[in-house]
Amino acid sequence: MKRVAVMVAAVLVLGVGLGWGQSCCPPPSCCPPPSCCPSPSPEPSCYEGFWLGEAILIEVIVPQGRLCSCCCPITTRISGWRVEAFLGGVVYEHTYPNPVSVDTKIVWDQKTSAGSQAAAGFYRIVVSTTDQGDVQTYIKLVDRADCRSLLCTRPSKPCGVPICNIHLKLSPIPTCGPCCDPCCDPCCLYPFYMLGTGR
């Protein structure tokens, strides 16, 4: 009887050991994960979307007022700005010979330093200031040809707007047509868009 009990115990121990080994060992290298489930491409946690070829107006917002506990005159100035690819590398860069007013309106026409259209994808816009360091935000350029609906909107994941911290405000600039009729050409209502004061 004791002999039978010992054999049963040995079988149980052996079975548990094999089960534990199979559950804890990594899968064999000959069985890679299926290619139907590629890892997602990296992207920023929040961004603003723009159509390819659409000029982008960039403004630096310096909050003021009692809510932010600051009523001092604004001394911040802009020394330059650049556009970087999300995964690294400068796409376009502009440096002012002398720092300019923080109210300067910057316009990026989505051209690279070589003068070609920037490709669709994620980018980081960075504005360098004289006393607040670099201020940055992210954008996504999207090919409108990929839009298959008349109700398409720019794909965005809006970032929260900081109440009392310096930040960037981005907006699209309408493309002007030859007629310059406000009825069919909305940019004619905004003549300052044509100045390119930030370039």
- Domain assignment present for residue 159? The answer is yes
Domain that holds residue 168: 48-146+153-194
Residue 29 located in a structural domain:
no
For the segment 55-75, what is each residue's pLDDT rounded down to a tens digit?
999 999 988 766 676 666 778
C-beta of residue 106 within 8 angstroms of C-beta of residue 92:
no
**What confidence score (pLDDT) does residue 135 get?**
94
Question: What is d(CA 70, CA 164) in angstroms, rounded to the nearest whole number?
Answer: 9
pLDDT at 14 over 60: no
Question: What would the two tokens of residue 141 be?
Answer: 């350029």
Q: β-pairing, 48-51 with 134-142?
A: parallel
Note whether residue 161 is domain-resident: yes
pLDDT of residue 189: 47
Q: What is the mean pLDDT of residues 24-33?
A: 56
The number of folded domains in the chain is: 1
Listed residue (198, 167, 193) closest to 96, CA to CA:
198
Q: Cα 40–29–17 angle (5° rounding)?
A: 115
Nearest by Cα to 76 from 133, 124, 125: 133
Q: Is 30 part of a structural domain of the chain? A: no
Question: Does 162 fall in a domain?
Answer: yes
Q: Which pTM value belongs to this model?
A: 0.67
pLDDT of the residue at 49? 92
Tell me the per-residue pLDDT of 113-154, one tens digit each, with 9 for 90 and over.
Answer: 999 999 999 999 999 999 889 999 999 999 887 776 667 777
Q: Does 96 fall in a domain? A: yes
Report the CATH number at residue 118: 2.60.40.1930
The yes-or-no verdict on residue 24 having pLDDT over 60 is: no
Residue 27 is assigned to a structural domain of this protein: no
Distances (CA, A) of 65 to 70, 77, 114, 119, 176: 6, 19, 42, 40, 37
Q: Write the Ramachandran bin of 140: left for phi over 0, alpha for psi from -120 to 50, otherwise beta.
A: beta
Query: Is 169 among the domain residues?
Result: yes
